A = this chain, B = another copy of it.
Amino acid sequence: MALVDLALDAPQLLQQIHALGAIGQDPALGGRTRIALSDDEKAGRDQLLRWMHELALEVRIDQVGNIFGILQADEAAAGDAATESGRPLMMGSHIDTVRQAGALDGCYGVLAGLAVLRAFRQAGRRPRRALVVAAFTNEEGVRYQPDMMGSLVHAGGLSVQAALDTVGTDGSRLGDELARIGYAGDMVPGSLVPQAYLELHIEQGPVLEAEGLQIGVVENLQGISWQRVDIQGTANHAGTTPMRLRHDAGYAAAACIAFLREQVAATPPGTTLATTGSLRLAPDLINVIPRQASFTVDLRDPDEQRLRAAEQRLTGFMADLARREGVRIETESLVRFEPVVFDPVLTGRIEAAARRLGLSHRRMTSGAGHDAQMMARICPAAMIFVPSRGGISHNPREHTDEAQLLQGAQVLLEVVQDCLASA
């Protein structure tokens, strides 16, 4: 239950969100750009470390650059860190950004975590178990793939060496860039196994705003299937080739995209999402039947069976289409994450906290990927969402009202206290 003597320093939290958002700003194009392990992202990391030191946290950096700020437990209450009772309670997210990002994606969760620790510091109290704020390396995956890399390594899903050897879109090696900016730490990733992980984040979607709600209790996270589809047809003259003799790679791509939409229109709302975001034709000339079409398929669903069924329907459609149109279709899986179901005890606590604080809320699914899905592999995890105006994110126009940001942080503080009290 909430302890009345812990209070958020609201102005300080908002000021830190503003200050971190000022690093890497792009006056010409708008927003800020702090791509993982760039000079601007190093400046963001340096700022975060100064704030952690102001709170007298124990700061640790692991071999892939994940940053942890630790508020150690009251010694009398603390258990052995190797046992469940001694494990820390972790909050976190990331501070790297896409290009021309908003100020909230990731940063909000890290800084709200600091605000929770500040509440303990300002009250002069120590928690019953250690509290940790984590900022994971390269969540966005703009420069180095895969995304959510730092938390994936932390959860044991990718080796340290593989992460360090990743070559970026600019040809750089991740390990070299990490050393260059001075964030190649010595802690072995994954050595901090939390008792539970909580991530506060903006929704990045329109659901909460559309329903006029203040808090999203995130009970699961969609599975993601990314594919690249390459269709090989035959280039020919648009004015002389009869329709029945064509092998039109562009038409075949359009048929796949239209099929995907029809499939999704037939499934219940809140289930499968299908998107083709990228499509390119060759030779891309007005009077030449396309020889080649390359496009992407982004399928998401909170249910693994449905996600797999959607993949299979597309595969079946493409096999028929290839036969019918006389084209060759090849697919490559780019990303495949199974759906994640968050911990029901934690989501129950988030829901109860929102209710106690008198905040309107709903249970919901996260459409985007988050570090919490990696942490869910090694400990109970859950997420708290606040509304995103217009559902817009990855855009300078990303916005959440200050009152809503503070409500989300209040829920986080409440849930942390609840977890500590119940431990």
Contacts and interface: CB of A to CB of B under 8 A. Distances in A.
A82 interface: no
A258 B235 CA distance: 18
A210 B347 CA distance: 68
Interface string A341-383: 0000000000000000000000000111100000000000000
A203 interface: yes
Nearest to A265: B243
B290 A277 contact: yes
B269 A258 contact: no
Residue picked from A224, A242, A289, most chain B C-beta under 10 Å? A242
Contacts of A255: 254, 258, 261
Q: How many copies does the complex hold?
A: 2
A159 interface: no
B236 A391 contact: yes
B298 A286 contact: yes
Given A245-B391, A250-B277, A279-B279, A240 B206 contact: yes
Interface string A188-212: 0000000000000001111100100
A238 interface: yes
A315 interface: no
Contacts of A288: 277, 394
A158 interface: no
A307 to B, nearest CB: 12
The 10 A-B pairs of least Cβ separation, nearest first, read A205-B240, A240-B367, A239-B367, A254-B257, A238-B275, A254-B254, A286-B296, A258-B258, A238-B298, A239-B368
Interface of A: 203-207, 210, 222, 224, 226, 235-245, 248, 250-251, 253-255, 257-258, 261, 264-265, 269-270, 273-281, 283-290, 296, 298, 300, 334, 366-369, 391-395
14 contacts: A205-B242, A206-B241, A210-B245, A236-B391, A238-B298, A238-B300, A239-B367, A240-B368, A242-B273, A243-B274, A244-B269, A250-B276, A286-B296, A287-B298
